[in-house]
Chains A and B, each alone.
Chain A
Amino acid sequence: MAGGQERELRRRIRSVESTKKITRAFELIAASQIARAQGRIAGARPYVEGIEKVLATTASEATGASRLIGTPEHVERVLLVVMVADRGLCGGYNSIALRTADRLMRAGEAEGREYRLVTVGRKAISYFRFRGREIHRSFIQMTNRPVFDDARAVAAEVVAPFLDGEVDVVQLVSWRFRSAGIQTVGTRQILPLPPLEPNQGASDVEAGNASASGTDAGGFYDFEPAPEDLLQLLVPQYAEAILYQALLEASASEHTARQRAMKAATENAEDFITTLRRVMNRVRQDAVTTEIMEIVGGAEALRQAGPTGYVDIDAEHTEEQIA
């Protein structure tokens, strides 16, 4: 019976050990992805900032483009983009973002708003389906290693309905990667464009330069085509750039969350194995002790009862034979 218990424990240790190998592998993979994902965020920054600067300068000159910029006074129909991962095993990464989106929609619906859902990531599909929400369009296999074409595909799905007036505003719920240590879920307005300060945008980009003409930088620009037409072209490109950046940040956050979760899981497995080993060793020790006790007890019993009986029998036989 004692041996059975030991075998059972041995089996469990083996099982936890193989789980640990898997979580350890996931942890290492995620860790290697973080650096690359961070590199891609840095690589995208010049483009995003460049587009923002051009957009801010153009918007400050364009007239009659109010629908494209600022906060609309009347919001009834909202297109909500939610970005999560395709896979789990990344702690609260998916559930926190999805809950944030769900809460946002509930609050909005209480005020009579309608939501059209566009999701990125497999995990969003099951979450919203379970809650009986209709998903207008879902994208998968983007967040592991996003490319610009992915952002284009998402942008195409959100820009057209906005420009056609099917929705009043486009919002995004996603993880933002602030640093390797800090990631937060953020809700942002993508369209209409958030009101941008033209000179602030310019000084962000030209931080190192002595921009003496900071106050009137917008006034002397030549535009081709006219600012109003240029803005029509810029809006889709801006949405692509922002969504690309958002995808990259979500991806880096996902890898970070997964690395952290898998590191914790690996450590848990280690602790568990230590505990199981300890229990198993005690069980084995007990079994060995019991066995020794049995052997010693048996031998002792034999020793006490043994000599007389043995001699007696032997003596009888001898006597018989002799007789």
Chain B
Amino acid sequence: MATPFHVEIVTPERILFAGEAEEVSMRTEEGEIAFLAHHEDFIGAIDMSVVRITLAEGTAGSTPSPGHGGAETGGEIRAAVLGGFVDVDQDANSVRILAGVAELAGDIDVDRARRALEAAESAVGAQTSTSTGTDTAGEPASGARPTGVMLAMLAPDSVEAAARRARIRLQAAGVSVTP
């Protein structure tokens, strides 16, 4: 059995999740990253991604809304984290995820996410067709559109960001999405 460590998902409103885990994984700009116990000090920006927490055996994650996100002992918790930061503290043996918006799998409104994805995709389609028609005249920033982490944090209102948010939500909720 792997050594457990403390994991927290902290949002502006409340501590979404706090518990002992064996492993926690997420996406950063560089790619997928996973933390185990006693990881060295680390600070990173999290891309919009599904955060997976493998709970330590014999310990239940304490969430303000128990029963959501499969908070059973020794299970896995998934959360949609829509951009944020991760702060790993070796001395405290803890991983703290700071996210402006984050939702546990059980709290995600799948229907709403589906509708948001459809709306965003049709908007993206309309945008690309118009921008190819009128060339780059009306779109000065199209060449330097932020991507990845930058997209999540610097252009949260763009349709691309909306589409990715919806995708991440659906993924976290365990719904398969066609790319």
Interface on A for B, CB 8 Å cutoff? 40, 43-44, 46-48, 50-51, 53-54, 57-58, 148, 151-152, 206, 209-213, 217, 220-225, 230, 233-234, 236-237, 240-241, 244
**Cα A246 to Cα B30 with chains together (Å):** 34
Q: Which residues of A contact B11 (CB under 8 A)?
A: 47, 148
Q: Once the chains bind, are A50 and B10 in contact (CB under 8 Å)?
A: yes
Q: Which residues of A contact B84 (CB under 8 A)?
A: 237
**Selected contact of B91 from candidates A51, A211, A222, A234, CB within 8 Å:** A211
B79 within 8 A of A: no
**Cα A260 to Cα B135 with chains together (Å):** 62
Q: Which residues of B contact A54 (CB under 8 A)?
A: 43, 85, 87, 98
Q: Once the chains bind, are A209 and B12 in contact (CB under 8 Å)?
A: no
Residue on B with the closest CB to A240? Answer: B100
A12: shortest Cβ distance to chain B, in Å?
Answer: 48
Do A217 and B41 contact each other (CB < 8 Å), given the known contacts A148-B13, A224-B29, A225-B29? yes
Most buried by B among A206, A213, A225: A225
Q: Once the chains bind, are A233 and B149 in contact (CB under 8 Å)?
A: yes
**Cα A82 to Cα B13 with chains together (Å):** 23
Residue on A with the closest CB to B101? Answer: A148
Q: Once the chains bind, are A230 and B43 in contact (CB under 8 Å)?
A: yes
Q: Once the chains bind, are A212 and B91 in contact (CB under 8 Å)?
A: yes
In chain B, positions 82-109 with a C-beta closer than 8 Å to chain A are 84-85, 87, 89-92, 96, 98, 100-101
B28 within 8 A of A: yes
**Cα A209 to Cα B96 with chains together (Å):** 15
Residue on B with the closest CB to A48? Answer: B12
Q: Which residues of B contact A224 (CB under 8 A)?
A: 28-30, 33, 42-45
Q: Once the chains bind, are B91 and A44 in contact (CB under 8 Å)?
A: no
Number of CB contacts from chain A to chain B under 8 A? 94
A255: shortest Cβ distance to chain B, in Å?
Answer: 18
Q: Once the chains bind, are B45 and A230 in contact (CB under 8 Å)?
A: yes
Do A223 and B14 contact each other (CB < 8 Å), given the known contacts A53-B87, A212-B91, A233-B149? no
Sample of 11 more A-B contacts, CB < 8 Å, known A53-B87, A206-B89: A51-B98, A148-B12, A206-B91, A209-B92, A220-B90, A221-B41, A222-B41, A233-B85, A234-B85, A237-B84, A237-B98
Q: Once the chains bind, are A47 and B43 in contact (CB under 8 Å)?
A: no
Q: Once the chains bind, are B149 and A237 in contact (CB under 8 Å)?
A: no
**Cα A95 to Cα B107 with chains together (Å):** 42
Q: Which residues of B contact A230 (CB under 8 A)?
A: 43-45
**Cα A244 to Cα B11 with chains together (Å):** 12
**Cα A224 to Cα B149 with chains together (Å):** 11
Q: Which residues of A contact B44 (CB under 8 A)?
A: 222-225, 230
Q: Which residues of B contact A148 (CB under 8 A)?
A: 11-13, 100-101
Most buried by B among A40, A148, A237: A237
**Cα A240 to Cα B44 with chains together (Å):** 18
Do A221 and B43 contact each other (CB < 8 Å), given the known contacts A209-B92, A237-B100? yes
Q: List 5 A-B contacts (CB under 8 A).
A: A44-B12, A46-B10, A57-B43, A224-B44, A241-B12
Do A50 and B87 contact each other (CB < 8 Å), given the known contacts A58-B43, A222-B42, A224-B42? yes
In chain B, positions 15-60 with a C-beta closer than 8 Å to chain A are 15, 28-30, 33, 40-45
